[in-house]
Amino acid sequence: MSDARKDRAGLASPHRRRLLGQGAALVGGALAGSTARAVAADDANAPPSIPDWMRAPGADVGSEPYGTPSRYERRLIRNIPKNLPQYISASSRTPLQDLDGIITPNGLFYERHHGGIPEIDPSQHRLMIHGLVETPLILSMDEIRRFPSESQIYFLECSGNPGFEAMSGRTASDLVGLVSCSEWTGVRLRTVLEEAGLKSEARWVVAEGADAAAMTRSLPIAKCLDDAMLVYSQNGERLRPQQGYPLRVLLPGYEGNMSVKWLRRLNVTAEPAYSREETSKYTDLMPDGTARQFTFVMEAKSIITRPSGTQRIARGFNEITGLAWSGHGRIRTVEVSVDDGRSWTEAQLQAPVLTRALTRFRLPWTWDGTPTTILSRATDETGYVQPYFADLTAIRGTKSFYHNNAIIPWRIAASGEVTNGFVKA
């Protein structure tokens, strides 16, 4: 029997055994000290044997008309807090620690609802534009799609991600899972407002959603005429109901609550609406009893997603990776500390580095097994540097629930177990 036939039969030739041995040595050298499970010699599906899944044809193309993940990845789902009293006004979080790159799959994009998820027939949905305009408009979805379109990659983040007293989560998702990033397709809001014709006294646009809560937020006219969009597609497909199908407004870099979903009305006004969501909620309580209002922009922020809480690492080489973002524009640098902030090293930013989008950073690191704490801090293109939690609360206090962008520490024990550095060991 030839060497090639022996290989196909699962019997490695001497030449092939030498190659396999050399490959194992190379891998072993790169991951010295790794706890990765060595492949058992008698594993029937391990090289050079023919694995089970090669012995018969697989599923046909039509078995799943809408593609789904491998059954071995079905555990990768949104993080729904178990302590929520009900689910109509609630949220679910993106599993940041399990994702790669910067784009969030549609099925894992975080959610925040205030009156449940309406089921809207797009053929019956209308967008009304009125108030301080020359020509009030009522537009169907077909009419909106006739306007010139564009696609942009932006992050979206809830301003309560996390609250100042909600720092005890176990995973990266528990702490800051209310942020995600997508390619959005739609029409510039400016284009539609110009079609209606703005009057000179126009200063705000009050957006209203078609959900049971009639979610209402006041949008400053300057933002509406800048990069704001009317969005109908996400990552190449129509918006999902959880993300505002068939239409939402998107305000890049602003707190997520302002990107009103299921958009039905834009009322152009001279004054803000002072709705529930910008008076009772989404204001920042200060130590002296006052409140900051209209703090729209999400400041520079970062988090290490690997290694992070509930994960375990081995001695030797470990890549540190995570995400950074800023509502003010592009991330300029991300620094990582592997000694609890005593020294910092600049991480590599993965291209593309886009304005108001998640940016992936990476840093090679060799861990010697000594317990330590790892941190990351982002600096955006304005020069703003992500603060320590103590520095932030020294000014803001801890009564506020919104706009906490503090540095997040991960504690690594001698065992390699990673835990939340805010929680006392």
Domain ranges of the chain: 91-292, 301-420
The CATH number of the domain covering residues in 301-420: 2.60.40.650
Neighbouring C-beta atoms of residue 272, cutoff 10 Å = 18
Cα–Cα distance, 243 to 109 (Å, whole number): 8
Q: How far apart are CA 421 and CA 416, in angstroms?
A: 14
What pLDDT is recorded for position 44? 87
pTM for the whole structure: 0.89
Q: Which amino acid is at 10?
A: G
Q: What is the pLDDT of residue 2?
A: 42
Tens-level pLDDT at each residue, the chain (425 residues):
444 444 333 333 444 333 334 333 434 444 544 444 445 545 889 999 999 999 999 988 888 899 999 999 999 999 998 777 667 888 999 999 999 999 999 999 999 999 999 999 999 999 999 999 999 999 999 999 999 999 999 999 999 999 998 899 999 999 999 999 999 999 999 999 999 999 999 999 999 999 999 999 999 999 999 999 999 999 999 999 999 999 999 999 999 999 999 999 999 999 999 999 999 999 999 999 899 999 999 999 999 999 999 999 999 999 999 999 999 999 999 999 999 999 999 999 999 999 999 999 999 999 999 999 999 999 999 999 999 999 999 999 988 889 999 999 999 999 999 999 999 87
Residue owning tokens 């109901």? 241
Question: Do residues 395 and 361 lie in contact, with contact meaning Cβ atoms separated by under 8 Å?
Answer: no
CA 256 to chain centre: 12
CATH architecture of 91-292: Alpha-Beta Complex (3.90)
Q: How far apart are CA 271 and CA 356, in angstroms?
A: 27
Q: What is the dihedral of CA 110, 172, 383, 346, to 10 degrees?
A: -130
DSSP E strands in 247-370: the ranges are: 248-250, 263-269, 284-285, 291-292, 301-306, 316-325, 331-337, 345-346, 348-349, 359-367
**3-class SS of residue 263:** strand
Q: CB atoms < 10 A from the CB of 40, how many?
A: 8
Give residue 40's pLDDT.
54
